[in-house]
Amino acid sequence: MRRILDRYIFKEIATAWLGVTVVLLMILLTNQFARVLGDVAKGKLPKDAAFDIIGLSAVQYLTVLIPISLFLSIIMALGRLYRDSEMPAMMACRTGPAGIYRPLLWLLIPLTLVVAWLSIDIGPRVLTAVDRIGAEARREADLGSIEPGRFTEFRTSDAVVYGERLTPDGVLENVFLQRTVEHGGVEVVVAERGEQVASEDPDVRLLVLYNGRRYEGVPGTTQFRVVEFAEHGIPYQLPSLRTPEPKPRARPVSDLLVSSDLEEIAELQWRISVPLSTLLLGLLAVPLSRARPREGRYGRLAIGMLVFIVYLNMMSAAKAWVEQGTVSPTLGIWWVHGCMLLLLLGIVALQNGWHKRVFG
C-alpha cells in the first residue's frame, strides 16, 4: 500500500511540475524570441546567431524556472488531493508527513542538484557564450547582412549603408553610404555597386565602391567638396573579439571562491542560495498546500506566490547589502534561508500539533 501511495503522489507532483515548467518556459522563450527578432531587424544581430542565443537563454531560464515551477506544482498537486478528500483518506491509512515527503524527495533532490549545476557552473558559461556569440556574429557581419531596400547601421564605423539590390555573389548595387567624419563633417557616397574586401589588418575591412560620387563637408555651410571616382575604398573597423574582464555573474566559481571582493562574494552566495532555496521551497510547499475539502482552487497558489515573491525579494536585498558592505559577508544571504527554515518548522509544528506536545 505504501509503495502504491508513494508512486501516486510522485506521479501527481511530477506531472504538474512538467506542465508548469513547459508553460512558463514557452512564455519566457516567446518574449526572448521577440527581443532577438527586434535586434535582428535593427541590424544589431545577424540572423544566424538568433537561434543560438535563444537556445542558450532557455538553459539560463531553467535556473529560475525549476524552483518556482516545482514550488507551484507541489501546491497544485497536493492541494487537489486535499480538496478531493484523497489526502484525508491516505491519512486514515496512516500516511503521515513522512509519507508525503518521501515520494516528494524522489523529485526534489535530483532537481535541486540540477539547479545547483545550472547555477554554479552552467549559468556563468552560458553568459560568456552569449557574449561571445554576439561578438563573433557582429564581427562576421558583412554585406550579406544588409537587407536590400533598407538602411543598415554599422555602429563600429558610425555609418549607414543602403543598397537597392544584393546579388548572389555579394555585390551591392545602387549604393548609398553616409558616415560622420572628423570635426563634425559628414561624408555621403553614392555608387553603382560595392563589395567587401579584406585588408592586411584582420580587424579592418574595406567597402570598395565603384563608379560613384562622394560629397564631403559640414552641414549648414558651403564648405563641401564633390569628388567623382571609378573606385573608392572605405575602411571600417570590426568589433573586437578580445574578452573584457568578466563581470561577477560570468566568472567561474573557482575565481569566486578565492576572491575577497564583496560583489564577488555576494555572487558566490547567490549561486549557492538558488539550489538551497529550491530545497526549502519544495519542503515548504507541502504544509502550504494543506487545504479544506471545499476551499477554492487557487487560494493556496496565491499564498504560495506571495511567499515566493517575499523570499526572492529578501534574497535580492540581502545580496545587495553584502555588495554594499551593509551586511557582513559572514551573515550574507544565509539569514534569509534561516528565516524560511524557521517558517517551515513553525508551520509543520502547528499543523501536526507538535507545539502541544512540547508546551503541554
Instruction: Tell me the three-class secondary structure of the chain, residue by residue.
Output: CHHHHHHHHHHHHHHHHHHHHHHHHHHHHHHHHHHHHHHHHCCCCCHHHHHHHHHHHHHHHHHHHHHHHHHHHHHHHHHHHHHCCHHHHHHHCCCCHHHHHHHHHHHHHHHHHHHHHHHHHHHHHHHHHHHHHHHHHHHHCCHHHCCCCCCEEEHHHCEEEEEEEECCCCCEEEEEEEEECHHHCEEEEEEEEEEEEECCCCCEEEEEEEEEEEEEECCCCCCEEEEEEEEEEEEEECCCCCCCCCCHHHCCHHHHHCCCCHHHHHHHHHHHHHHHHHHHHHHHHHHHCCCCCCCCCCHHHHHHHHHHHHHHHHHHHHHHHHHHCCCCCCCCCHHHHHHHHHHHHHHHHHHHCHHHHHHC
CA angle 331, 336, 342 (to 5 degrees): 115
Model pTM?
0.72
Partners of 195 in the β-ladder: 208
CA-wise closest residue to 249 among 323, 335, 310: 323
How far from 192 is each of 82, 227, 265, 344, CA to CA, in Å? 76, 15, 58, 74
Say how far apart CA 219 and CA 216 lie, in whole Å: 9
Domain carrying residue 69? 2-139+245-359
- Is there a single domain that holds both residue 220 and residue 282? no
Instruction: Write down the pLDDT at residue 156.
Output: 56
- Is there a single domain that holds both residue 84 and residue 200? no
pLDDT digits (tens, 9 = 90+) for 110-167: 999 999 999 998 888 888 887 777 666 666 555 555 667 777 776 656 778 888 887 8
- Please compute the mean of the pLDDT values over residues 175-195 and round it to a whole number: 84
- At which of 237, 260, 286 does a domain end? 237
- Is there a single domain that holds both residue 156 and residue 190? yes
**How many domains are there within the chain?**
2
- Is there a single domain that holds both residue 78 and residue 163? no
- Is there a single domain that holds both residue 260 and residue 123? yes
Cell output for 242: 578580445
For residue 238, pLDDT over 80 is answered with no
Please tell me which residue, 142 or 317, carries the higher pLDDT value: 317
- Is there a single domain that holds both residue 125 and residue 256? yes
| Residue 140: partners with Cβ closer than 8 Å, 6 or more residues away | 46
Per-residue b/e over 27-44, b at no fewer than 16 CB within 10 Å? ebbeebeeebeeebeebe
- Is there a single domain that holds both residue 128 and residue 154? no
- Is there a single domain that holds both residue 263 and residue 121? yes
- At which of 237, 268, 296 does a domain end? 237
- Is there a single domain that holds both residue 215 and residue 254? no
Instruction: Write down the pLDDT at residue 241.
Output: 58
Reported as a pLDDT band with limits 50, 70 and 90, residue 46 is low
- At which of 220, 237, 254 does a domain end? 237
- What is the amino acid identity at position 250? A
- Is there a single domain that holds both residue 328 and residue 182? no
- Is there a single domain that holds both residue 332 and residue 193? no
pLDDT digits (tens, 9 = 90+) for 285-307: 988 888 776 666 667 788 888 99
- Please compute the mean of the pLDDT values over residues 341-351 and round it to a whole number: 87
- Is there a single domain that holds both residue 79 and residue 150? no
